[in-house]
Structures are given as C-alpha cells and as structure tokens.
Amino acid sequence: MYTGGRDWLGSRGSVIRYNYIHDSLGYGFKDGRWVSPHYAWGIYLDDNAGGVDVIGNVVARAIRGLIHLHNGRDNRVENNVFIGGALQQIECSGWTATTSDWTEFLPTMIKAYESVAEQPAWRAMRNMHIHPSKAVLSDGKIMTGNVFLRNIVMGTDPQTKYVSVHQFPFEHNAWDYNLVWNGGRPVRTGQLKAGRDLSDTNLAPNGSFEDGRPGVMPTDWHWLIRPVPTATAELVAEDRSGGRLALRMDAALVAEQPRDNHPTVTSKGFELPLGRHFRLSAHMKATQPNLKASLMLQSYVANAYFWASTPNEITVGTEWKNCEFVFKTPAPGEKGWHEQMRTFNVRVGFRGAQGSLFVDDITLKEIEMLDEWSAWQAMEWTVTRT
Ligand SMILES: [Ca+2]
C-alpha cells in the first residue's frame, strides 16, 4: 500500500486502517535476472509522505520490511501488528538538506503548501504550521513529527532487525509503548550508546597536565613526531581548562612532506584490557578558528602492527570545547588485534599551518556499552501524551 508526498500535501489526511496485508512479494531485476521476492514493504510511505494515519493493521511478511517511511513526516503509526519482515520490521530513511530528491522537489512543495496554507481545513492538519522551507533542522535532517505507538512487532528470521533508521532525528519523533519480540534473540536496532563509567580514575597518564612545569613537555608525555627541530609542545599556565596548567602545541606543519608532517605527542604506554569499551575525551581550543587536531588511542609495535581508535579528526575553535570518542579495544581474534597487543598510549596531533593548539583534561575511562535495544530506548525521543 503506497503513497508519496513530493508536493507536501498529496498524502495528508489519508488513513490506512484495519487491513490485513500479507506476503508482499515484489518483483525486480537483480544480478542479471528477474527475481521475486524483491524490494517490497507492506506499507510504503514514500518521498516525504506526510500526515498519514496507519492504524490497526496486521502486516505480515515482506522481504524488505513491513513499513517504510521514506523521509515521511507527521505520520501516526499506532496499534498495528507487524510480523515477519525479512531484513527488518520497520524502516525509516530520512533525506537531508542536500539530498537531491529534497532540493529537486522543494519548489513544488512550497508552491503546493502556499496554495492551501491559509485554508482552515489544511491548517488544522498535523504540523501544517511548518512551512517546507523551514523543515530542515540545524543538523540538516528533515524527517520529523512521526509517532510510533502501541504496535506489536515480531521478527521471525534470526538475522532480522527490529528497525533500520537512516538520517533519522530521534528527538523529533516519538516511539513508545511498542511490544517487541524477536524469538528470544537480541532486538537489533543498529544503535550504540555509551552507558555508565566503569573506571573510577582517569586512565590517561597525567591527562590533566598538572604534573610538570611550564616551558617543558608534561611528565609522562613525549614527542612522537617532531617535524622540525624547533617545534614546541610544552606546559603553559596562560590558558588552561582546568587546574593550573595545560599543554600548548605550536603549528609546525611541513606541508610538502607526505606523512609524519605535523607535531604529534603521545603519553607513555599503559596496559588496557582487550575487547572493552572506552571513552576518550579532551578539552581543546586554538588561537584561531577551524584548526585541525587529532586525538586517538593507539597501540603499536614497530614492524609488527599499528592500531588506532577512530574517528579522531577534530575541528578546534577559539573557545574551549570537549571532544569525545567512544571505541572498543580489539578482542583477541577480532579485526585490529595482534598477539603482541598489550600497551596503548594517548596521541594528540596538531595539523594547523599556523597558530597554537591548547589541550587539557584528557580523560580515558572504561565504560559500559548499552545493547542495541537499551540504546534505542535511551535515545532522546519526543515525549508524547498517549
Ligand atoms: Ca590542567
């Protein structure tokens, strides 16, 4: 059952109610042959479809999923039974401000919206106070105002996911009171989220940069890459985030050198358990906007292996800002693991061509990682009154 919303209006006010939709097969061309089942959902709210009520349906078995909201907005999905989607039960794929479908259809949406915006019947519909040109959020996402309540959702395939979401702003959608069962297996949502700290103390050596004296490298830290002999990285008292001292690194980029071309310092090595999750954070600021720094945990033995946590690129501005990453140390046998892997160190690099980077309060702690279901529940959903 399909509808779309390239004109902002077409699907609004539609009700898909009390149907039994089952074994949607789909038929398509894949790897040189016509195949079925192929690329099908039971209910497909496509291309910005908005303002649809999907209520009280039983939707069973479809190859791709049982319902798909493709940049859907202002839809209510309530009191349905979704059972036996193959890839996932529910799919939500948002556009962003730069998605070609959005930029292509936006003029049509605005024209249609403005043609009815002053009419009471249209104004009374959900979120019709939002002009299409005001629909993009500050992070570029668009898909808002959807409500998923009191559905019963059951997966039957061991590989299936409960939900698959893409460019989906959790805090602008509501998802609550759904009953989910996956045959006793974990409920997969594709979401990861850090839980509580497991470490009582900071595992980063001298991460507060309070040990040492101004004008020299902090205690327990040393150069990893000093691209020119005059490059400086030293403790300073003039600008810090916490305590008395911080680390200052001055720009010394050797742009023509293909690698090892910018100042990089590391802490001394320390042991960490393998196969565990950690949070690495640091306070950073720079003498000018948009300077590039890097922060990572690394482990290596020369000529044997190199491993580093990612992502690690940071854009630093002129105000102190906390940058943090969550990652896992490789467990034995996992990608990135090496039999000689024992010690790790914290690494800070400064890629700026000019100016200085200030670093303070580097913190490394082992953390609990929530499972995908707990992470999904912990998202900052819109709260609805039921
Ligand atoms: Ca400090």
CATH number at residue 298: 2.60.120.260
The reply to whether 187 and 329 lie within a common domain is: no
Mean pLDDT by 10 residues, the chain (386 residues): 96 97 96 96 98 98 97 98 97 97 97 97 96 96 98 94 97 97 95 92 98 97 96 95 97 90 97 96 96 95 93 88 93 96 97 95 96 94 77
For 67-77, b/e burial (b = at least 16 CB within 10 A) is bbbbbbbbbbb
Decide: helix, strand or coil at residue 67. Answer: strand
Q: Is residue 21 part of a domain?
A: yes
Q: Is residue 77 part of a domain?
A: yes
Distance 218 CA to ligand 1 centre (A): 11
State the pLDDT at residue 245.
98
Distance 283 CA to ligand 1 centre (A): 10
Q: Is residue 101 part of a domain?
A: yes
The reply to whether 156 and 277 lie within a common domain is: no
Decide: helix, strand or coil at residue 297. Answer: strand
Distance 55 CA to ligand 1 centre (A): 57
94 sits in which H/E element: none
The reply to whether 175 and 243 lie within a common domain is: no
Residue type at position 55: I
Q: Could you give the angle at the alpha carbon of 11 between the alpha carbons of 7 and 14, nearest 5°?
A: 165
Q: Is residue 200 part of a domain?
A: no
Distance 216 CA to ligand 1 centre (A): 14
Residue type at position 159: Q
State the pLDDT at residue 96.
97
Distance 244 CA to ligand 1 centre (A): 6
Q: Is 123 left (phi over 0), alpha (psi -120 to 50) or beta?
A: alpha
Distance 322 CA to ligand 1 centre (A): 13
Q: Which spans in the chain are helix H?
A: 100-116, 120-123, 372-377
What is the C-alpha to C-alpha distance for residues 312 and 357, in angstroms, rounded to an integer? 15
Q: How many residues does the chain have?
A: 386
95 close to 48: Cβ distance less than 8 angstroms = yes
Other Cβ atoms within 10 Å of 215 Cβ, number: 10
What is the C-alpha to C-alpha distance for residues 8 and 129, in angstroms, rounded to an integer? 12
Residue 276: HSE in the Cβ half-sphere, 13 Å Cα cutoff: 15
Decide: helix, strand or coil at residue 240. Answer: coil
What is the C-alpha to C-alpha distance for residues 385 and 147, in angstroms, rounded to an integer? 11
The reply to whether 173 and 303 lie within a common domain is: no
Distance 245 CA to ligand 1 centre (A): 4
Decide: helix, strand or coil at residue 381. Answer: coil
State the pLDDT at residue 75.
98
The reply to whether 168 and 241 lie within a common domain is: no
What is the C-alpha to C-alpha distance for residues 290 and 228, in angstroms, rounded to an integer? 23
Closest by CA to 106, choosing from 116, 96, 91, 120, is: 96
State which residues form the domain around 299: 221-369
State the pLDDT at residue 10.
93
48 close to 109: Cβ distance less than 8 angstroms = yes
Antiparallel, parallel or unpaired: β 321-328 and 305-308: unpaired
The reply to whether 171 and 236 lie within a common domain is: no
The reply to whether 184 and 229 lie within a common domain is: no
The reply to whether 88 and 229 lie within a common domain is: no
The reply to whether 116 and 19 lie within a common domain is: yes
Distance 236 CA to ligand 1 centre (A): 9
Residue type at position 280: L
The reply to whether 36 and 136 lie within a common domain is: yes
Average pLDDT over the chain, rounded to an integer: 95
Distance 100 CA to ligand 1 centre (A): 47
Determine if the peptide bond prior to 227 is cis (ω within 30°).
Answer: no
State the pLDDT at residue 385.
63
Distance 211 CA to ligand 1 centre (A): 9
Closest by CA to 110, choosing from 250, 39, 195, 6, is: 6
What letter would DSSP give residue 16? E
Q: Is residue 204 part of a domain?
A: no
Q: Is residue 93 part of a domain?
A: yes
Greatest alpha-carbon pair distance for the chain in Å reads 75
What is the C-alpha to C-alpha distance for residues 203 and 234, in angstroms, rounded to an integer? 21
